[in-house]
Amino acid sequence: MIASSQTACRYERHQAAFPRWSALRLLAHAEFSATPGSVATVRQWARELLTGTASDTTVDDLVLLLSEVVTNAVVHSDSGRAPGGSVMVCLGFGGGFVHVEVIDDGSATSVPFVRAADADSDGGRGLLLVDLIATGWGACRDTTGNIVWFRLPVTAPGPCLPR
């Protein structure tokens, strides 16, 4: 994770620009290096934050989708192209959902969208998975870059019940 005054400023600008955060309770936000190795760090960070607050299924789905969205930010945005680039991740709760946002530096050459992947292709399915699994998702661009968000229903953690 990156700790800097830029982290707080980027998050505060984002929060002020999007009133949806007034209806959500922020769980955490953090900035990570925009490198392929950071994707595993983001997964671990999110899993540690959510374990015990949501069911294993919710946590597993969230970690999978977050991994896909962060990977897209690293691979396709200016965050991953620029030395010292970073990706901001915000997690919050509200209305029975866990809400996730990934903020990157955007790209002059592309915007996030669901791609039609070839059957034998190694990539191109990240946002398709988000579209299939998340209750809702979207992408927008503002002065901080691209924002890809998704939400999943929160089910409480509990013991496994026999079938």
Per-residue confidence band for 3, with pLDDT thresholds at 50, 70 and 90: very low
Assign 62 a pLDDT band (cuts: 50, 70, 90): very high
Report the pLDDT averaged over residues 37-60. 95
Q: What is the pLDDT of residue 79?
A: 85
**The pLDDT value given to residue 16:** 54
- State yes or no: pLDDT of 56 exceeds 90: yes
Predicted local distance difference test score (pLDDT) of residue 14: 55
Q: What is the per-residue pLDDT for 10?
A: 53
- Asked if 148 and 136 touch (Cβ cutoff 8 Å), the reply is no
Task: Please tell me the predicted confidence (pLDDT) of residue 58.
Answer: 95
- Say what the pLDDT of residue 19 is: 64
pTM of the model: 0.81
Mark 89-107 as b/e (b = at least 16 C-beta within 10 Å): bbbbbbeebbbbbbbbbbb
CB 147 within 8 A of CB 155: no
State the DSSP code for 51. B
pLDDT score recorded for residue 108: 66
Tell me what pLDDT residue 160 has.
Answer: 47
The answer, yes or no, to whether residue 32 has pLDDT greater than 50, is: yes
Q: Please determine, for residue 119, whether its predicted confidence score (pLDDT) is greater than 80.
A: no
122 pLDDT tier (thresholds 50, 70, 90)? low
**Sign of the CA dihedral running 33, 106, 129, 159:** positive
2 three-class SS: strand
Instruction: Indicate left, alpha or beta for 142 from its phi (over 0: left) and psi (-120 to 50: alpha).
Output: beta
What pLDDT is stored for residue 87 in this prediction? 93
| 86 vs 163, residue with greater confidence | 86
